[in-house]
Structure 1
Amino acid sequence: MNVIEYLLVSLLIGSAATVATDPLLVELPNGILRGRDNEGYYSYESIPYAEPPLRELRFEPPQPYARRWDSIFNATTPPAFCMQWNQFAEDADKLIGIEDCLTVSVYKPKNSNRSSFPVVANIHGGIFMFGAPVEQRHEPIMARGNMIVVTIAYRLGPIGFLSTGDATLSGNFGLKDQRLALRWIKQNIARFGGEPENILVLGHSAGGASVHLQMLQEDFSQLAKVAVSLSGNALDPWVVQQGARRRAFEMGRNVGCGLLSDSVELKKCLQSKDASEIVRAVRQFLVVDYIPINPFGPVVEPVDAPDPFLTQYPSDIIKSGSFSQVPWLVSHTTEDGGYNAAALLVKQPDGRELIYHLNNRWYELAPHLLFYRNSAKTVDEMDDYSRDLRQQYLGNRKFSEENYLHIQRLFSDLFYINETLRTIDLQREHGGSPIYYYVYDNPSEKGIGQELSNRDDIYFGTVHRDDYALMFDKKTSEDRPDEKIISTKFLSMLEGFVYSDTGALTYDNCVFPNNIGQKQLHYILIRSNGCEALEIAPI
């Protein structure tokens, strides 16, 4: 061995020894990265799992990140927002984020009593249109010291879900991003001290629906041990869309591609545009405020699409039995629809809240609000359904602030509760793995209803995000004493779930009944003062 060879070998040995002893350094197939010491935990952020989806890779399935790092990769930068038209942005221009955003971030607690940790992979919500990993909080889990958290950034809105319904522009790119990220976690998490055999995949709202959609892939059981869908599942009416082809070509017209009818030409034109033009054009699809809430979302793809994700409607996949058999927890709050209904309390330019405009515009706006504009076969069918819903939930009452809770109940039932019950019923009939269900009833002092309506004089009840906020979501105010206790119990529940050899699940002193093989539908009701096991008749 000559001197140069000796020096190179010495450097390699020294580098490997440093990585082995420095917890901030992690060696991946791409090279070495450096994380950050955050006192109680380590963080390794903005790690790319896919090639940047730019130019010719826009509107394509994600490609695994294969680049080698010439120097140590800086993993101390918080993950960026994927480019989006964000409902919660205060400015009229709601564009935020970047297109090159496909990263995962790993958060590892400092716990000298453990040599490895189970893993929670968290898929954020945002109705497939907005949201970001940086909006999640991992500190409570880090403080407990028992689990690694991994957050996933994925493409959103038209960048993630534009579809012409054919193989050229098939859609579901955001869901394919999630799937690739889950594969990255399975392959690499052991390098961070994670246990690849003990992975829990969790999501809230669109994240919950995403988890369920991932479960409907037959290989999901190779990526995760258990799954949790909070306030969202694949059968909810706002998840899988129809009419995507028309919207795709309308998008082309809006950004200057002309009146095209060929998918190849449309795709080529859209790939040549700046991503900000495409995302800003979302406002052209909104009828009023941020309605419809998600003009771009998951679709059923043709079977000849490249790397197809969803080629059947979720209900048909469940009926076929061709989905992953992993223990699954699904949930909703008592008034989940407060997220959607609260927007009706926002004042319009004429000084009146939108809810009053429904008295004259119900037949026009209801199909946009409630996601059946593209599924109804005729205008008469659409109007009949609008009339039936109004009669069922309002009777002879007017749309008004005084009757707001009746309208919120409509949204809760249609968007979350009804399809949760149907999903459980279908899945327990055609599957064999445990299915658990809870309902959360404990209103937050400052929930998403107050945030969206900017009102404190309306009682919203327990709305969307009130439970998830106690696990992961960042809150604008401090948790109440009862919420702190519930938060601890929720996190303990997740720890027990991912470690259970049988897939059993417990919240505090309540053991979740498994709905497989039951005549009645069983659930756990969680309130501020405890929990109880209840049952309802099957739908």
Structure 2
Amino acid sequence: MTDKSIRIALLCLGAAATFADPLLVELPHGRLRGRDNKGYYSYESIPYAEPPVGELRFEAPQPYSQQWKETTFDASQPPVLCMQWSQFIEHADKLTGSEDCLTVSVYRPKSSNRSTFSVIVLIHGGCFMFGGAVENGHEPLMASANVIVVKISYRLGPLGFVSTGDGALPGNFGLKDQRLALHWIKQNIARFGGEPENILVLGFSSGAAAVHLQLLQQEFRQLAKVAVSISGNALNPWIVLKSGRRRAFELGRMVGCGLLSDSAELKKCLKTKDAAQLVRAVREFLVFDYVPFTPFGPVVETVDASEPFLTQHPIDIIKSGKFAQVPWLVSYTQEDGTYNAALLLAKQANGRELIEELNSRWYELAPHFLFYSKKTIEEMDNYSRDLRQEYLGNRNFSLENYLNVQRMFTDVLFRNDTIRSIELHGKYGKSPVYGYVYDNPANQGSGHWLSKRNNVSFGSGHWDDFFLIFDNPVRHPLRSDEKIISKNLIRMIESFVQSENGTLTYDNCVLRDNVAQEQLKLLSIKRNSCEVLQVR
């Protein structure tokens, strides 16, 4: 039987199941039952991998192998968070989630007009440290009723990314989870009425960078048709980390493994520790609050690693041209640096803003905020001085000069490498590469949430556009202009996955493909307009 005939058979089976009972779905593991949510059906917490516990901790994920022979799997329960030290928890103990969390959740709109749908796969953000599928609302996409949404849960923090830089403990387990989940979706989404040839993978922030990292794997071409990275990409300085080995052994020391030097011994010891103990140790790697926001994240693995994910730096992969040639959209907001520059405006116990501490601690704290390192202390200090002079001149760090600091964060952490990624893909790639910049400040954005104050105009910050696609209470209520933009953004990504030639439009504006172009062109999305802008 050919792949095409298999798909037709699965679609027929799915249509028959939908007609009989849309809540029941047959998988290779057995039957599952979802939930009716008025305007859509949900099938949540479906395992795609064996629980990564015990001897499977710190290993590449293993495909789920259990069978539901005598029972129907209950797919009506929302996905649990993967165990994490969450910035979203405001009290002192920020631990939440479970180590057994490798699931996908599927959401299918009700429609009398169609039996199959294109598919939007979400890889959630959270600095590779926290966040989860359940925190990103799918209701706006369900209301549109044109696509199936699938959300992936993957390992985070030290459980997902601790690495000794060798084959014994290579790291990138969370990225390998995502890769396995994408395979699961490709193989099984037709059973839910999804079209496996029309899959768009979308991510925000670290999820956006993860989408880019997945795209840099040549096999991604068989897993997805198009990709979207909102406010993040693999070249951002906080994505591919250095000094992972030193951090891994320090984690071992903190949890009682002693002063080890052998990676295999460290891994053996870490497997015996309570997961909560390992995750709580994250706080010891933070200078203050949640800085640096990615103490554990992706690394370049050695080629002898078992099932390696990333064995070259993303820049080298792009320049080689050996990555998946699929259309890619990447973006940033005008003031993406609200994350996490706005922390500097939070009031301290003495009533002063934290930003004033930078006047005496800039050389100490800047590398933690902005993720840079140099060979010598002198080089570090020179770079820190250059940054300060470029964005502040001779002025002090203060509330009055905060927006200059935020611009620094935007450029260094987000904007500059978005432009560079588009340039490199345009030069070395063959598939379309598009970009947009979002500039429409929210009434309540990330800057307000992080600083706990409403008397500052932060501009268009981190997540202002993403939460118009995937809903979040922090953005409620939406203004009338934001409701229109939300519909336009959703229509844009829906048309992107359904397009036959990878073209992309927003409202009445056509985004420009930057492949083989001397001048980059990005779409600027504002409150009541859009226009194509030339960059540099």
TM-score, normalised relative to structure 2: 0.96
Task: Give the equivalent residue in structure 1 for 2:374.
Answer: 376
- Find the residue that maps to 1:389 and give its secondary structure: helix
CA deviation string 1:67-110 (max 9, x = no partner): 00130000000000000000120110000000000000000000
Task: Give the equivalent residue in structure 2 for 1:223.
Answer: 223
Task: Give the equivalent residue in structure 2 for 1:146.
Answer: 146
1:495 Cα shift?
Answer: 1.0
For 1:334-413, list aligned pairs within 5 A.
Answer: 334-372=334-372, 375-413=373-411
Alignment check: 8 A CA contact 1:19 1:27 kept: no
Distance 1:461 1:186 in 2: 39
Task: Give the equivalent residue in structure 1 for 2:193.
Answer: 193
Distance 1:526 1:334 in 2: 10
Distance 1:41 1:225 in 2: 24
AA of the residue aligned to 1:21: A
Task: Give the equivalent residue in structure 1 for 2:33.
Answer: 34
1:347 Cα shift?
Answer: 2.4
Q: Number of paired residues?
A: 520
Distance 2:239 2:377 in 1: 22
Alignment check: 8 A CA contact 1:200 1:224 kept: yes
For 1:43-442, list aligned pairs within 5 A.
Answer: 43-69=42-68, 70-372=70-372, 375-442=373-440
Distance 2:349 2:128 in 1: 28
- Find the residue that maps to 2:453 and give its secondary structure: coil
Aligned CA RMSD, in angstroms, stands at: 1.1
AA of the residue aligned to 1:231: S
Distance 2:164 2:48 in 1: 27
CA deviation string 1:201-239 (max 9, x = no partner): 000100100000000000001000000000000000010
Task: Give the equivalent residue in structure 1 for 2:8.
Answer: none
Distance 1:79 1:430 in 2: 39
Change (3 A) 1:18 1:291: closer
- Find the residue that maps to 1:72 and give its secondary structure: strand
1:348 Cα shift?
Answer: 2.9
Task: Give the equivalent residue in structure 2 for 1:486.
Answer: 485
AA of the residue aligned to 2:46: I
Distance 2:457 2:18 in 1: 54
Distance 2:224 2:104 in 1: 16
AA of the residue aligned to 1:59: F
1:529 Cα shift?
Answer: 0.7
1:19 Cα shift?
Answer: 7.5
CA deviation string 1:115-149 (max 9, x = no partner): 10000000000010000000111111111110000
1:473 Cα shift?
Answer: 3.5
CA deviation string 1:158-183 (max 9, x = no partner): 00000000001000000000000000
Task: Give the equivalent residue in structure 1 for 2:6.
Answer: none
CA deviation string 1:338-373 (max 9, x = no partner): 11100111223443221010000001111111111x
1:395 Cα shift?
Answer: 0.5
AA of the residue aligned to 2:22: P
Alignment check: 8 A CA contact 2:17 2:25 kept: no
For 1:492-503, list aligned pairs within 5 A.
Answer: 492-503=491-502
CA deviation string 1:234-253 (max 9, x = no partner): 00001000000000000000
Task: Give the equivalent residue in structure 2 for 1:526.
Answer: 525
Comparing 316-325 with 17-26, which one deviates more in the overlay?
A: 17-26
Alignment check: 8 A CA contact 2:51 2:102 kept: yes
After superposing on structure 2, the runs of 4+ consecutive aligned residues of structure 1 that deviate more than 4 Å are: 16-20
Distance 1:341 1:456 in 2: 15
AA of the residue aligned to 2:535: I
Alignment check: 8 A CA contact 2:340 2:450 kept: no
- Find the residue that maps to 1:131 and give its secondary structure: coil
CA deviation string 1:400-451 (max 9, x = no partner): 0100000000000001110011111111111100001101000000001101
Task: Give the equivalent residue in structure 1 for 2:457.
Answer: 459
AA of the residue aligned to 2:33: R
1:18 Cα shift?
Answer: 6.7
Distance 1:460 1:150 in 2: 32
Distance 1:17 1:509 in 2: 39
CA deviation string 1:471-520 (max 9, x = no partner): 00413321100000000000110111001100000000001111112121
- Find the residue that maps to 2:71 and give its secondary structure: coil
- Find the residue that maps to 2:288 and give its secondary structure: coil
Q: Does 1:508 align with 2:496?
A: no
Distance 1:116 1:234 in 2: 33
Task: Give the equivalent residue in structure 2 for 1:3.
Answer: none
Distance 1:519 1:256 in 2: 55
Task: Give the equivalent residue in structure 2 for 1:12.
Answer: none
1:263 Cα shift?
Answer: 0.6
- Find the residue that maps to 1:387 and give its secondary structure: helix
- Find the residue that maps to 1:432 and give its secondary structure: coil
Alignment check: 8 A CA contact 2:231 2:462 kept: yes
Distance 2:24 2:514 in 1: 44
- Find the residue that maps to 1:71 and give its secondary structure: strand
- Find the residue that maps to 1:469 and give its secondary structure: helix
AA of the residue aligned to 1:491: I
Distance 1:192 1:487 in 2: 26
CA deviation string 1:267-300 (max 9, x = no partner): 0110000100000000111111111111000000
Distance 2:311 2:137 in 1: 34
Distance 1:497 1:336 in 2: 24
AA of the residue aligned to 1:382: M
Alignment check: 8 A CA contact 2:439 2:525 kept: yes
Distance 1:179 1:518 in 2: 31
AA of the residue aligned to 1:470: L
AA of the residue aligned to 1:384: N
- Find the residue that maps to 2:104 and give its secondary structure: strand
Counting aligned pairs with the same residue, the percent is: 67
Task: Give the equivalent residue in structure 2 for 1:445.
Answer: 443
Alignment check: 8 A CA contact 1:220 1:324 kept: yes
Alignment check: 8 A CA contact 1:337 1:464 kept: yes
Distance 2:471 2:40 in 1: 18
CA deviation string 1:47-81 (max 9, x = no partner): 00000000110000000001001300000000000
Comparing 513-522 with 157-166, which one deviates more in the overlay?
A: 513-522
Distance 1:152 1:483 in 2: 27
Distance 1:246 1:85 in 2: 20
Comparing 513-522 with 27-36, which one deviates more in the overlay?
A: 513-522
